[in-house]
Homo-oligomer: A and B are copies of this chain.
């Protein structure tokens, strides 16, 4: 990645550090290394407030550069800093929400005279929540590839298929279009394969994960998504795959059906599209996350779908979430989130309704906040699509 782009990102972090009088960051976690160094390495990016960043790398062993040094273990860091002419920091931040307890303690112990702070995760996540022009471009391309796959979904269905089998054919197309497959989440307890396909009542099954909808899954070791449901008429099918084409987790859901659905499904789907339109209309710099959430809840309630909005027996307590290198970034469109939207934020908006006996309906698109409003990045037909009738 070009240095000006990396410098831009590092300076966004430095600005937040300066506000808290933090004079260095030690970055060791993959997504933050991608963000600040442009790729995954095994090692540490040391980011001083007032000097160039230095990479101390274990693996791979073929990275060279002016500010790159090999390292075997973190205990070498103080000596390496000295060799590079860098002072031992006074206040150092580590990735406290991402490093394990023992890794954090080991790194902190390398700097016995330093005040070590765990706020690295929150500061870097804050910096990452406002995307650079290049990051938005990655999302734009990702959205196009994602939409190209979804357009082909109706051709993948064969009578007698289960949700799992259809999902596998979609996963294959995603991969052929360039999806890297890996689905990065923030928080050690969030996990999913490439995304989910929910058919019929499986969408009502509550999951342990904090995704918008659940699904029973195929095994108790991964209880989320498709559960082997036979696809049949009268049932809605929601495809919600993660679109990691360039490291950036685009998000997009569409609903399909085999034959026509009961009228109620189209009514509920229309409510979701209306919510999307109303929220997108209000979403602009300065818009408050919880107010956008409230608007969605109010519309769903007024339309008579309060009980089934964002889940059935167990509901998601958000209608949208920031996306980036991970699927769950800031901001979150949820209750008690007073954060305001800013230009460059990218988020998924996913008003969804689960109808017992029919299945999930609704919509999800990825959006970028512009100077005046929001722009949709995942352009693809939004009505419920009949895939065989």
Complex: how many Å from CA A218 to CA B179?
A: 10
| Chain A interface residues (CB < 8 Å from chain B) | 1, 28-30, 34, 38-43, 58-62, 94, 96-105, 118, 121, 164-165, 168-169, 171-172, 175-176, 178, 180-182, 184, 188-189, 191-194, 205-210, 214, 218-223, 246-247, 313-314, 325
Complex: how many Å from CA A281 to CA B210?
A: 48
Give every chain B residue within 8 A of A325 (Cβ-Cβ).
221
Q: State whether A59 and B314 are in contact (beta carbons under 8 Å apart), knowing that A1-B220, A42-B189, A182-B193 are contacts in the complex.
A: yes
Q: Chain B's nearest CB lies how many Å from the CB of A240?
A: 15
User: Does the CB pair B206–A59 fall under 8 Å?
Assistant: yes
Complex: how many Å from CA A101 to CA B26?
A: 15
Can you report 25 A-B residue pairs in the complex whose CB atoms are below 8 A from each other?
A28-B189, A29-B189, A30-B188, A34-B221, A40-B191, A40-B209, A42-B210, A43-B208, A60-B314, A61-B206, A62-B314, A97-B102, A100-B188, A101-B118, A102-B118, A168-B175, A168-B176, A171-B171, A171-B175, A171-B181, A180-B221, A184-B191, A221-B246, A221-B247, A221-B325
Interface residue SS majority, chain A = loop
Give every chain B residue within 8 A of A210 (Cβ-Cβ).
42, 59
User: Does the CB pair A182–B191 fall under 8 Å?
Assistant: yes
User: Does the CB pair A206–B101 fall under 8 Å?
Assistant: no
Additional A-B contact list (14), CB under 8 Å, known A62-B313, A181-B194, A182-B192? A42-B209, A60-B206, A60-B208, A62-B206, A62-B314, A96-B101, A97-B100, A98-B188, A101-B101, A168-B172, A171-B175, A220-B247, A221-B246, A221-B325
Give every chain B residue within 8 A of A189 (Cβ-Cβ).
28-30, 42
